[in-house]
Amino acid sequence: MQKDETWDIVVVGGGASGLTAAVTAASPNCHVLLLEKCSALGGSTALSIGSLTAAGTKLQSRAGIQDSTEDFLQDLDDAIAGLGLKYMNNKELSRVLVRDAAAAIDWIAKLGASFVGPFGEPLHRVPRMHNVVPNSKSYISVLRQAAIKKGVVIKTESPVLELITSGEDIVGVKVGSPNGTRIIHANKAVILATGDYSSNKKMKEKFMSEELAQVDGINPASTGDGHLMGMAVGAAVRNMDLSAGPNLRFISLSQPLWIESLPTFPALAKLMGVVAKNAPKSFFRFIAKRFLTVHSSPSIDIFKKGAILINKDGKRFTNELQNTPLLAMSVARQPGKIAFIFIDYILARIFSVPPNYISTAPGIAYAYFDDYRALRKDIMYTGHTVFQIAEKLSMDRVTLTETINRYNHFVASGKDDDFGRKEFGKGFHEGPFYVLGPLMGCFSTVEGGLSVDSECHVLTTEGKIIPRLYAAGSVGQGGLILPGHGLHIVWALVSGRIAGENAKKE
């Protein structure tokens, strides 16, 4: 075992919430250590499009948008009620979120982040969605720089294995390394900021279902470490059976988008912010479409109008008109956990013009068939015959032909003898044909977290505060339901600031 260390505050996790907590807590009189198990900072924040949703922001004011936290809260309440989840939502945390969201955006903007917007989304009565430039890694770059300036020590490849207790108090953590384990003492507090558990199969089996457990998470590092450590010391959990999805998503590019590869240091971010604010909206939509074709789910409407799903063997395997989570689970059961969308030139034409889009970021941009053909050549296959499609995908020609012929038979008879589909489109009779894929079923995030109060103290199953333990971000979601875009990162910033402020007062 290595030599023990002592710090005032130990933050576990190097995504937006952990870095925010560290920056907030650090001072000349409060020494902060941040531990990240991966080789680089970022967490799920770095994998996101980068939206923040808030009411009463400076960008709204500049755009002449009148808004209020009361309206924001009501819109969230209505959206949650529409999902049938109002009774499961932690209304106290919803109030905290809407109260502090605008201040959190202003705070990180002062640190160097730059935003464009706001943009609209159907569940909100006015535009509230703010997008960071040049990309979501900007949050991590800005926060990392601020943390270093305030004296935070950051150690990557430092997995925290368990919390150390003294009586009821949390007094430190045990950290693993290739050279063994060591104890790190925390004079004031430990802040958990470890993300969700979307990539922990055993936890999904326990709290969701065996079928959902087969669906992978977008972030393989989201393994619920903080949830498990919290529960081991008596923490309660809430809404562990809820998730955003699972959804269908095309496999990401092997190389990142150029916009994702841009340097994200604050000076460049501010320059790009000025450029973006003065550029035509069409320019930002042009940029957004590149994100949409990589990071967004295909619309269910493409199946309603006649597309089918096939697996890598060329076989149809499910009723394509099921809801998206069921489709995602079906894909996860296929060889290689992948599938492909099969369409013809008629559907390609239909989904080349409004209102029929393949993917969308509501209020910002829509991506159509021609956008995918231009921007995602890696997932677009074209053939004048079914045989040509099969050859390009290395599928058995006879199998794929039988699949298409059988579906055409169902179209003609009006009855799907295999999977019970009720709407068919026109079938596939004349090329050219197109295949989009591979796509996978995946979780962007799961909603369950440790139970926390409005000051981000972690609570026991009896509702008592666990002394000197805080949680922020997804692990500290505490029953808070976040519908729509741009809310998870806002909660990461809001809860990270609250946890950091309270921890340094210990």
Q: What is the pLDDT of residue 253?
A: 56
Mean pLDDT of 86-115: 95
Distance CA 397, CA 383 (A): 12
Which helix (H) or strand (E) element contains residue 392?
A: helix 386-392
Distance CA 42, CA 22 (A): 14
Distance CA 161, CA 240 (A): 21
Which residues fall within 8 angstroms of residue 140, CB to CB, at 6 or more apart?
Answer: 14, 15, 16, 19, 41, 42, 45, 46, 264
Q: What is the pLDDT of residue 131?
A: 84
Size of the chain in residues: 506
The phi and psi torsions of 94 (rounded to 5 degrees) equal -60, -40
Which residues fall within 8 angstroms of residue 493, CB to CB, at 6 or more apart?
Answer: 16, 17, 20, 52, 104, 105, 107, 108
Structure tokens at 167: 């009586």
Which helix (H) or strand (E) element contains residue 470?
A: strand 465-471
In this structure, of 182-191, 280-289, 347-356, 358-367, the range with the lowest mean pLDDT score is 280-289
Q: What is the pLDDT of residue 115?
A: 86
Mean pLDDT of 484-501: 95
Strands (E), 77-159: 114-119, 129-133, 153-155
Q: What is the largest CA-CA distance in the chain?
A: 77
Whether the pLDDT of residue 398 is over 50: the answer is yes
Mean pLDDT of 50-54: 90
Residue for token pair 């890694």:
137
Whether the pLDDT of residue 85 is over 80: the answer is yes
Query: Helix crossing, 266-278 with 137-149: angle to 10°?
Result: 140
Distance CA 447, CA 239 (A): 7
In this structure, of 105-114, 169-178, 260-269, 491-500, the range with the lowest mean pLDDT score is 260-269
Distance CA 208, CA 172 (A): 31
Whether the pLDDT of residue 14 is over 70: the answer is yes
Mapping DSSP to helix (H, G, I), strand (E, B) and coil, where does residue 157 land?
coil
Q: What is the pLDDT of residue 84?
A: 94
Q: What is the DSSP letter of 27?
A: B
Contact 54, 234 (CB under 8 A): no
Mean pLDDT of 178-190: 93
Q: Tell me, rounded to whole angstroms, the distance of Cα 171 from its chain centroid.
A: 32
Mapping DSSP to helix (H, G, I), strand (E, B) and coil, where does residue 109 land?
helix
Which residues fall within 8 angstroms of residue 148, CB to CB, at 6 or more apart?
Answer: 154
- In terms of Cα–Cα distance, which of 453, 3, 444 is closest to 243? 444
Mean pLDDT of 283-298: 67
Q: What is the DSSP letter of 297?
A: P
Structure tokens at 30: 């409060």
Which helix (H) or strand (E) element contains residue 172?
A: strand 169-175
Instruction: Read off the amino acid at residue 476.
Output: G
Q: What is the DSSP letter of 253?
A: P
Q: What is the pLDDT of residue 259?
A: 47
Residues of 213-232 as b/e, b for ≥16 C-beta within 10 angstroms?
bbbbbbbebbbbbbbbbbee
Whether the pLDDT of residue 429 is over 90: the answer is yes
Express each pLDDT in 242-286 by its tens digit: 987 899 999 875 555 444 444 455 555 555 555 555 555 555 566
Say how many C-beta atoms besides its own lie within 10 A of residue 58's C-beta: 13
What is the set of domains in the chain, with CATH numbers?
5-43+89-104+139-245+446-504 (3.50.50.60), 296-443 (3.90.700.10)
Q: What is the pLDDT of residue 36?
A: 97
Residues of 456-490 as b/e, b for ≥16 C-beta within 10 angstroms?
bbbbeeeeeebbbbbbbbbbbbbbbbbbbbbbbbb
How deeply is 272 buried, as exposed, middle or buried, from its count of CB atoms within 10 A (0-12, 13-18, 19+)?
Answer: buried
In this structure, of 10-19, 183-192, 360-369, 460-469, the range with the lowest mean pLDDT score is 360-369
Structure tokens at 113: 């982040």
Q: What is the pLDDT of residue 444?
A: 86
Residue for token pair 């959206």:
79
Distance CA 473, CA 45 (A): 10
Distance CA 251, CA 380 (A): 12
Distance CA 183, CA 470 (A): 19
On whether the pTM is more than 0.85, the answer is: yes
Q: What is the pLDDT of residue 285?
A: 60
Contact 55, 75 (CB under 8 A): no
- In terms of Cα–Cα distance, which of 74, 171, 65, 81 is closest to 120? 65
